[in-house]
Structure 1
Amino acid sequence: MRVQRWLRLCAFCGKVRTEGGGWRTLLGHSSVKYAHLTQAQQWTTTSPKRLCHSDLGDLYKNESVRRYLKQHMEEYTDLSEKLQHACLSDSERKVMISKHAKLLPLANIYQSIEQALKDLEEVLSLIHSAAGSKDEDKQLNQLLKEEEAEISKGILALRKDLIKALVPVDPLDSSNIMMEVVSGRTTGGDICQQFTREMFDMYEGFASYKNWDFEVLNYTHAEFGGLHHAAVRIAGENVYRHLKHEGGTHRVQRIPEVGLSSRMQRIHTGTMTVIVLPQPTELDISIDQKDLRIDTFRSRGAGGQSVNTTDSAVRIVHLPTGITAECQQSRSQLQNRDTAMRMLTARLYQSMMGKETEQRDTARKQQVRTRSQSDRIRTYNFSQDRVTDHRTGYVTRDIKEFMRGGEALGDLISDVLEHAERESLLELVENSISLKRNESETNAD
């Protein structure tokens, strides 16, 4: 369709008269000019925009962000000139090449936007010329306006890509994770345990939807089909990037299916906690066996053949930190010990990360907090068929479909991730401006 429209446009362009009395043709072809866009990016220029709190590309209008972007472009230009003309030592050239390579993707997108703006100006000029001519052709004018709209959408897509290129990269995004789901302790009773099982099933469904591996490490049943606690290892492409913001307290509001409250239609409220710990490919953690206390005990559970007859469950305590991990999933004590060590290693790694940042506690403590409703990140209201994320205000309906862990959960996760990237970039820009201001004040003194 685009090609046919463009061929018609090219055929008519010879009729457009310039202000000087000459004739002009429209240079270039939008489908060629934007050929560097991926198929997904081209679709974003035509498909309906998903409803969310804001668009990451809107940050392009932010004055501070534009100033920050300008600094990067000036640095890129300066590095390009020095690499071409300056006499540099091998070490200096190596450092500059590394910086230049990091800025290159950003510069390419920026230059694409500049070229697209020139194309848009050319089309607008032709529209103005065609409108002022005596032999104005309505079909030509329509084609030009369609071309204007297409280029404008391409510019918006490029601007969003530009902002994404500015967002700081989390080096752990590609990591696999250790996820724990824990039933609330203070509110809801059985409703918390039932909700915890549903949340476990939801994440298992999402892992299947994303084609990730979902390995159960520990699963402690509760009465009436509920779940006290479970730990799983999820492996796949960019697992931590997608699930890192799922950590925190999740609240449920529903009318119980059985009991007096179900007959009186009374809504109960409960909570559960999700804990997400990254597992980088290489964990540089040295654990002295002397610092470990390893206990064995009989598995707790619903019973069954050979379940509670041997001391197969294992609990490992890291004495210097008090961090504990246990596993009773297997009937083999050796397998449970190996799994518990993996869980302990992940928790120790997260603890080390928390100490290095110094500005925040470990992710586990951040996510568990007090497990109270005031710390909730999301509410699942079954009575009103609604899920609400309190960090972004994102609301979605059809809660049964959402709890399947498919596309609906993926849309919410994408919205939360975009919000987090937005906040991360604004914080980075603010810190950069503050640093520049301090440097200027220091130089002035």
Structure 2
Amino acid sequence: MLDKLQAVEDKFRELESLVSDPAVIADMEKWQRYAKEHAQLLPIVEKFRAYKRTVQGIADAKEMLADGDAEMKVLAEEELHALKAEKEKLGAELPILLLPKDPNDEKNVIVEIRGGVGGDEAALFAGDLFRMYSRYAERQGWRVELLNANATGIGGFKEVTFLVAGYGAYSKLKYESGTHRVQRVPVTESGGRIHTSAATVAVLPEAEEVDVAIAPGDLRIDTYCASGAGGQYVNRTETAIRITHIPTGIVVQCQDEKSQLKNKAKAMKVLRARIQDKARQEQEAAVAADRRSQVGSGDRSERIRTYNFPQGRVTDHRIGLTLHKIDAILNGELDALFAALITADQAERLKRVHS
């Protein structure tokens, strides 16, 4: 590990020299590439240098213990104890920093939520999840843009698709793909019985045009009149768009905007993300036969979390974590949940590296 870290520091020094080279500065594209790589290595190098300073401090403290007077030895003993604890802490953090980065972590995401089993109650729960993620995004300073929604008349969604734009959005929200289950007494239930409903969540990294090449001949584009909850027409003009990607059979639609052009642009954004996600899943399936063992694998048939209202708890089944603060979580307070998922993911990846 130390050899790898030293190689990273050597590369960092090389990049440090390059980003201050006048010839490189004159070539903006090259400078930006080097500067980005330099910034990515900075946290690893800072931690490694702190580790080396700690190791040197331990050596100095041991020398003081051997050669110092009685008073100095007491001070050295105290310092040695603190430095050993610091070395152990840094030694646990450094392998995590060396784990390969997910190339999508910095990207915006497209989130799709669909009400599953449970009828109106499932649609209401889909609405709860949409508000939960929207409030979390607001806390992070991220922007939420509605792309498509099929609303019900009672405040829920049969399905809703939205963009979350902000640095690192995918790194946090990628763990949300899967089936979310809710247990509560529906507002429509007069007998007070607890019902179980579900909604599925898909989190896709936003794909740029350069990431996914789509030939115009591979698309079938249909237009229709946008309609609102209960089937009422939003307008009589065919502004809604349905796009079918013929090679994959993927179908997306958008009716949120009053402009056909804007709806088409939004639909294409979703289509690119879905095509990229399909390719990613196929690639991962070829490399790893059992993706479901991984935290955040994105298997949408997997029940990942239960929201139990009578007990006021939220349980993430992948990591066995239960938090008794359902109201706070549904209000977008997801930091504790995401921190636990990230830690579990890192532990699993470290285990695979050393196996």
TM-score range for the pair, normalised by the shorter chain length: 0.7 to 0.9
SS of equivalent to 1:203? helix
- For 1:375-427, what per-residue CA distance to the aligned partner results, in whole angstroms no more than 9, with x for missing partners? 21111111111111111122212211111113xx1121121012112212322
Residue correspondence of structure 1 range 69-84 to structure 2 within 5 A: 69=1, 72=4
C-alpha displacement at 1:105, in angstroms?
Answer: 6.9
Within-5 A mapping of 1:22-421: 69=1, 72=4, 109-110=47-48, 112-120=50-58, 123=61, 147-148=79-80, 150-184=82-116, 187-262=117-192, 266-281=193-208, 283-302=210-229, 307-357=234-284, 358-359=286-287, 367=298, 369-370=300-301, 375-406=302-333, 409-421=334-346
Contact 2:245 2:251 (8 Å CA) reproduced: yes
Post-superposition Cα deviations, 1:96-140, rounded to whole Å, max 9, x if no partner, equal: xxxxx898975764464344245346557868999x95xx79xx9
CA contact (8 A) 1:249 1:367 kept: no
What's the CA shift for 1:146? 5.8
**Stretch moving more, 146-155 or 307-316:** 146-155
CA deviation string 1:330-351 (max 9, x = no partner): 1222221121111111111222
Q: Quick one: distance in 1 between partners of 2:243 and 2:212? A: 16
Change (3 A) 1:395 1:120: farther
Equivalent position to 2:353, from 418, 428, 431: 428
The aligned amino acid for 1:165 is: L
Compute the displacement of 1:327 (Å).
0.5
CA distance in 2, matches of 1:273, 1:196: 8
**Letter of the aligned partner of 1:317 in structure 2?**
T
Amino acid at match of 1:238: G
Distance 1:301 1:128, change over 3 A: farther
Q: 1:246-285 CA distances to partner (integer Å, 9 max, x unpaired)?
A: 11111111122342342xxx22111111111112456332
Local SS of the residue matching 2:287: coil
Q: Assess if the C-alpha contact under 8 Å between 1:261 and 1:267 holds in 2.
A: no
Pick closer, same or farther for the CA change 1:145–1:344 going to 2, 3 Å: same
CA change 1:107–1:313 in 2 (3 A) is closer
Task: Give the CA deviation at 1:287.
Answer: 1.7
CA distance in 2, matches of 1:78, 1:204: 42
Q: Which one-letter code corresponds to 1:425 in the other structure? A: L
Unmatched runs of 5 consecutive residues or more in structure 2: 12-37, 292-296
The amino acid of 2:340's aligned partner reads D
Q: Point out the structure with max Rg over C-alpha.
A: 1
Distance 1:298 1:78 in 2: 61
Q: 1:120 & 1:290 partners in 2: Cα distance?
A: 67
Pair 1:76–1:270, CA change in 2 (3 A)? closer
In 2: Cα distance, 1:305 partner to 1:340 partner: 22
Q: Secondary structure at the match of 1:320?
A: coil
Q: Which amino acid aligns with 2:287?
A: Q
* CA distance in 2: counterparts of 1:119 and 1:245, whole angstroms: 40
Measured in 2, the distance between the counterparts of 1:227 and 1:427 equals: 39
Q: Alignment RMSD, CA only?
A: 3.5
> In the aligned structure 2, how far is the partner of 1:73 from the partner of 1:315?
50
- Please state how far the C-alpha of 1:156 moved relative to its aligned partner: 3.9
Task: Mark the CA change 1:77 to 1:211 in structure 2 (over 3 Å): closer, same or farther.
Answer: closer
Alignment partner, residue 35 of structure 1: none
| Alignment match, 2:21 | none
1:360 CA displacement: 5.9
Distance 2:42 2:328 in 1: 42
**For 2:316 and 2:230, how far apart are their aligned partners in 1?**
38
Unmatched segments (≥5 aa) in structure 1: 1-68, 80-100, 431-445
Q: Does the 8 Å contact 1:214/1:234 carry over to 2? A: yes
What CA distance in whole angstroms lies between the structure 2 residues aligned with 1:337 and 1:170? 30
Aligned residue in 2 for 1:33? none
CA distance in 1, matches of 2:122, 2:144: 23
SS, match of residue 154 in structure 1 = helix
Alignment deviations for residues 19-43 of structure 1 (CA, whole Å, 9 cap, x no partner):
xxxxxxxxxxxxxxxxxxxxxxxxx
Paired with 2:322 and 2:311, the residues of 1 have a C-alpha distance of: 12
CA distance in 2, matches of 1:290, 1:118: 65
Q: Percent identity?
A: 35
